[in-house]
A = this chain, B = another copy of it.
């Protein structure tokens, strides 16, 4: 019989609350027994409102140390991730960390080293796209050989609009970061260089930022990837990915929609909110973590994936600023990560 995995959640903001709700009401085999937040009153309020029996701890370290906490979810603000993940590793407790794993590649490197030193995989990073049914179907097609070896990827990441506090470099760290992770996974390959070009700026973007951008990545096997990042595209939240192989192409499925004929148009709705697009993937992702912890085998996005994303993102930002082709220099992949 299944015993519920006892979870402690650090950070009870929006994503923390979502994960608590998920682990308590939707997923199988987990239970949130401990929470904490920089704002303890808020943490207590979440426990009350979600009607769960979880203790509120003074801080993340106390939570990690709690004897009944079997695994940890880190949902606090980015700069605190490294510290808590390292603490969980030190305590020998599996840890699911929302992205970014750390705010610097250096920090990710520390976590990688600590995890390797611990002797077993304890860390999963919250990249959810590899859990999306569409990307999985696309990967299955690639891996089946039906389109031959992939040679090029044409991608787009479009948001209807972004707010005042979104800066040009966030197109990399908050937006492209998902492609940086999922495309490595899709191709089972690493990036070796990146170039960024800025098309004519849309009149719909706020004055302080450049939008759209085109990021061109090259992989170790020579596959060329272009990703249009356009965060004020107005019309929808739209994620496109076309893989061009030696003998055919494959395209990420559009979200399934009712086809309408009305008002002189044959149309399908396009989503406006990113949450609707990947909502199911969050469930699958966390369920996979829970099942993995219980089985003693975490297979989700690893600390190494978190490190690779950080190094790639750093190179992209350099490329944004220089206009040049910038190398992406990863350390040698440790055997530990397979």
Q: Taking beta carbons and an 8 Å cutoff, which residues of A are in contact with B?
A: 1-2, 24-28, 51-53, 133-134, 137-138, 140-141, 146-149, 151-152, 154, 156, 197, 199-204, 212, 214, 216, 218, 221-224, 226, 228, 230, 233-236, 238, 244, 246-272
Q: In the complex, A154 Cα to B149 Cα: how many Å?
A: 22
Complex: A197 Cα to B193 Cα, angstroms: 12
Judge whether B248 and A234 touch: CB under 8 Å.
yes
Tell me the number of copies of this protein: 4
Q: When the two chains form the complex, which single residue of B202, B221, B250 contacts A151, counting CB atoms closer than 8 Å?
A: B202
Q: A256-B133, A256-B253, A261-B238 are in contact. Are A200 and B222 (CB under 8 A)?
A: yes
Q: Assess the B235–A263 pair: CB atoms within 8 A.
A: yes
CB-based contact B250/A230 at 8 Å: no
B204, B254, B266, B268: the one contacting A247 at CB < 8 Å is B204
Query: Which residues of chain B are within 8 angstroms of A263 by Cβ–Cβ distance?
Result: 235, 248
Sample of 20 more A-B contacts, CB < 8 Å, known A197-B224, A247-B262: A27-B28, A28-B28, A141-B258, A141-B260, A148-B203, A152-B214, A197-B216, A199-B222, A200-B221, A200-B224, A234-B248, A248-B260, A250-B260, A250-B261, A254-B256, A254-B266, A265-B265, A265-B269, A267-B267, A267-B268
